[in-house]
Amino acid sequence: TLFASGREGAQIPLQLSGVWTPIDPTEPFWFYAPDAFDEMLLTAEPVFREQIAPLMETPVSTAVWYLILDGRAVRPATIRGLLDNISVAQARVNALLNNTDLEVSPVPALQSYGSSASLLTVVLTVFSLPVIGLVLYFTSLIASMVIQRSQSEIAILRSRGSSRRQIFSAYLVEGVLLAVVGLAAGLTLGSWIAQLMGRTRSFLDVSVFEQSRFEDLVTVISANALLYAGLGIGLTLLALLIPAARASRHTIVTLRTQQARDLERPLWQKYFVDILLLAPPLYGWYLLDQQGNLSVLGGGNDPFANPLLFLVPVMFCFSIGLVAIRFFPWVIGILAWTAEKLPSTTLLLTLRQLARSAAQYTGPLLLLTLTLSLATFTASMAVTLDDHLLDQVYYRVGSDLTLTELGESTEQPDQPQQPGQPQQPQQPDSDNEDEPRWLFLPVTEHLEVDGVKYAARVGDYEASSNVNGRAQQGRILGIDRIDFAKVAFFRTDFASNESLGGVLNRLAVGRDYILVSRDFMVSNGLQVGDPLRLNVEAAGEFANIEFVIAAPLDYFPSLYPQDGPFFVAHLDYLHEGLGGQFPYNVWLATDETVSSAAIVQGVRDLGLVVTNAADAREQIIEEQARPERQGLFGLLSVGFGTAAILTVLGFLVFAVVSFKRRFIELGMLRAIGLSVSQMAAYLAGEQAALILAGMGLGTGLGVWASTLFIPFFQVGRDKTALVPPFVVQIAWDQIGLIYIIFGTMFVAAVAVLIGLLVRMKIFEAVKLGETV
């Protein structure tokens, strides 16, 4: 029977229909926690309205409407409209029902998602500008080559009466047809690349091609994507139509005059544009060197949200590359002068051709230099950031898996008290005063757990010093020297380029020997071999312990200089000084195929109390899944591949177009007696000189930019972001891959040229009049 709280004597007979338990308390269905209904009776709405509500003075005190919405269709472009609709709905509800409140709302999450998506779009767009610029330059270079190849045809058409509009219209139709095909292919390819970027965890991660490893992104061809595609088509058409419009101005007579002028330097060299372009990157480097960051988009503490850190070195490579190309004719001229003293006719022809027509080779040489310098810098940056992530996490955790454990306390538990009696203070047991406060199982018990390779005890305690009247607070690690070397992360730059084994051997000299932070030794005028007294605190116990300084340390896993001086000593010696064993952490080297959860559960099954676990591998995976990091490394990987592909295509097209343009010249050389092998060596020498010059210049610029700018990518205010310091890694493996691609490109280009030489007929190449 239910006694209603409203009318006097209201009794409602009840019939129990069933008892319910939640299948999954974490399901979104539960707007309140299931245990909130433990003292409630549930009934159907018609029963409540017809039988219960009439008997109650206030039948409804609180009404809740709870909606589970499907957010799979929400896109950044639809967020603003969705927020507006929620505001309208809330206003209408408030107008109909007073005291209505929107308690659980998607508005904060949608606003956060919208702002994050907008910022990420801007950041990735800016990061992709070098790749976009490279593609546009490649497109304009190929378009210029094609127009130059057809320039004689255009001049003949103009001389025979065709108007400039007709020629322009022909190339416009050609460009539109190519754009339609490119748009269809580009949207499909872009969606596929976006999915690969969604699986990216590191630079050139080959696992992105594994379908089952990661859940694919749902790619949507949005209005913005179509807008960007249209913009790309427009720029591509301009790259084709501008050279076509300029070529359509010439007849045969004016064309020959213009070709003579083409031997002059390009305009950007005449007006020293390359020198002027040095100012922005040099100023950017100056700001980085003085301030340490360039922050415009609010990402000063995150390298993945600060695209200016990436754009400045790109501009540096571009401007220095232009300046270097200015001196290319001079260098080739000196080599040609030297070749005059040598008996090789082929070498002399090759160098003279390069020196005399250097302007014709500026475009391909600049393409080679830019692609290789950008590939070198981006690959080195990506490898450095990848390695630093591992170093950063392992430095913080210390090993593969770090467990915080508690031993078994030997102190007497509190005696049970009668209800209402005051709590009595705990009295020590006089018979157990000499017994240790804590008991621990041997650390070797951890080796019984599946997935554990090695285990080491690491005590982390507070320590204070008073040297020359100067008190300092810091931390001290107690370790087992032999076991620690098997589990700990360490870099040689942590201790003056000495290995972990060498550093720990310094402790082996004596049980009271201690490793000390270098800053502490310098600030207090201490030397190796000096005595040092520290006040060590562990679990509320304090003890003054005497040590002897064994060696200085710059860094040590889990110890940060920002927290004050740090020390490393023998754990057993610390415990002796403290009067017994005290709780310590256990650092584990584990099998990566066994999850940390399984290992922790296995340790608990041994009877050990694990209060916390830090898994380095899980933290690395979590950081690698950040959208900013995925986007950046995806773009870097795409840019690296794009640079390689465009360079190969560009050089192959250049080799063929150059051969066709110099058809008469090559025929004359054959006619005066050069053999096919000499001609092949002549053309191969040109290609080899360009490739070697571009590879050398591009690699040098990329390595230089990496050395100058990559250290500035270590930004942040948190101590874990600045320790350990960056170690710049030059990606020689990836550079070697580019070299292999370029070598293959050279072989392919020479093979094509030899094929064209063999098929060339002298009587067709050498004739009176013009050739098309």
CA angle 735, 738, 742 (to 5 degrees): 140
Rounded CA-CA distance 644/609 in Å is: 55
- What is the rounded average pLDDT of the residues 277-293? 78
Which amino acid does the sequence have at 132? Answer: I
CA 302 to chain CA mean position, Å: 11
Cis upstream peptide for 724 (omega within 30°): yes
Tally the residues of the chain: 772
- What is the rounded average pLDDT of the residues 722-735? 84
Residue 701: predicted pLDDT: 92
Rounded CA-CA distance 764/664 in Å is: 9
Taking only the tens place, the pLDDT of each residue in 206-256 is: 666 665 455 667 777 777 788 888 888 888 888 888 888 887 777 776 666
Residue 668: predicted pLDDT: 76
Rounded CA-CA distance 86/81 in Å is: 9
**Residues with Cβ within 8 Å of residue 758, at least 6 apart in sequence:** 676
Q: Is the pLDDT of residue 341 over 70?
A: yes
Residue 420: predicted pLDDT: 38
Residue 764: predicted pLDDT: 59
**Cβ(725)–Cβ(369) under 8 Å?**
no
Residue 712: predicted pLDDT: 81
Rounded CA-CA distance 387/382 in Å is: 9
Residue 704: predicted pLDDT: 92
Q: Could you tell me the pLDDT band of residue 557, with boundaries at 50, 70 and 90?
A: very high
**Cβ(530)–Cβ(432) under 8 Å?**
no
- What is the rounded average pLDDT of the residues 258-269? 62
CA angle 190, 195, 196 (to 5 degrees): 95
3-state DSSP: the chain helix, strand, coil percent, rounded to 5?
60, 10, 30
Share of the chain above pLDDT 70, in %: 86
Q: Could you tell me the pLDDT band of residue 769, with boundaries at 50, 70 and 90?
A: very low
- What is the rounded average pLDDT of the residues 172-182? 88
Share of the chain above pLDDT 90, in %: 6
Q: Could you tell me the pLDDT band of residue 419, with boundaries at 50, 70 and 90?
A: very low
Q: Could you tell me the pLDDT band of residue 515, with boundaries at 50, 70 and 90?
A: very high
Rounded CA-CA distance 655/752 in Å is: 8
Which residue, among 174, 130, 484, 60, has the nearest Cα to 307 in the 3D structure? 130
Rounded CA-CA distance 601/40 in Å is: 38
Least confident of 394-408, 410-424, 453-467: 410-424
Torsion of the alpha carbons at 297, 318, 628 and 208, rounded to the nearest 10: 170
- What is the rounded average pLDDT of the residues 447-456? 90
Q: Is the pLDDT of residue 554 over 80?
A: yes
**Cβ(156)–Cβ(772) under 8 Å?**
yes
Under DSSP, the state recorded for 51 is I
Taking only the tens place, the pLDDT of each residue in 386-396 is: 888 899 899 99
Q: Is the pLDDT of residue 313 over 90?
A: no
Taking only the tens place, the pLDDT of each residue in 577-602 is: 888 888 888 999 999 888 888 999 98
- How buried is residue 106: exposed, middle or buried, by Cβ count under 10 Å (0-12/13-18/19+)? middle
Which amino acid does the sequence have at 158? Answer: R
Which residue, among 476, 483, 485, has the nearest Cα to 457 in the 3D structure? 483
Q: Is the pLDDT of residue 496 over 60?
A: yes
Rounded CA-CA distance 640/241 in Å is: 29
Relative to beta strand 401-406, strand 585-590 is antiparallel
Which segment, 36-45, 147-156, 362-371, 489-498, is predicted with the most confidence on average? Answer: 489-498
- Mean pLDDT over the full length of the chain: 80
Distances (CA, A) of 361 to 325, 332, 690, 738: 10, 12, 8, 21
Give the helix/strand (H/E) hosting 33. Answer: none
Rounded CA-CA distance 326/277 in Å is: 13
Torsion of the alpha carbons at 697, 699, 701 and 707, rounded to the nearest 10: -150
Q: Is the pLDDT of residue 412 over 60?
A: no
Q: Could you tell me the pLDDT band of residue 436, with boundaries at 50, 70 and 90?
A: low
**Cβ(452)–Cβ(600) under 8 Å?**
no
Q: DSSP assignment of 107-138, as one string? A: HHHHHHHHHHHHHHHHHHHHHTHHHHHHHHHH
Give the predicted TM-score (pTM) of the model: 0.75
Tokens of 238: 């301009």
Count CB-CB contacts under 10 A for residue 189: 11
Q: Could you tell me the pLDDT band of residue 5, with boundaries at 50, 70 and 90?
A: low
Rounded CA-CA distance 72/571 in Å is: 54
Taking only the tens place, the pLDDT of each residue in 347-369 is: 777 777 777 776 777 878 888 88
Tokens of 304: 């993945």
Residue 402: predicted pLDDT: 92
Q: Could you tell me the pLDDT band of residue 182, with boundaries at 50, 70 and 90?
A: confident
Q: Is the pLDDT of residue 488 over 50?
A: yes
- How buried is residue 536: exposed, middle or buried, by Cβ count under 10 Å (0-12/13-18/19+)? buried
Least confident of 91-95, 129-133, 425-429, 649-653: 425-429
Rounded CA-CA distance 362/654 in Å is: 12
Q: DSSP assignment of 239-261, as one string? A: HHHHHHHHHTT--HHHHHHHHHH
Q: Is the pLDDT of residue 686 over 90?
A: no
Residue 296: predicted pLDDT: 47
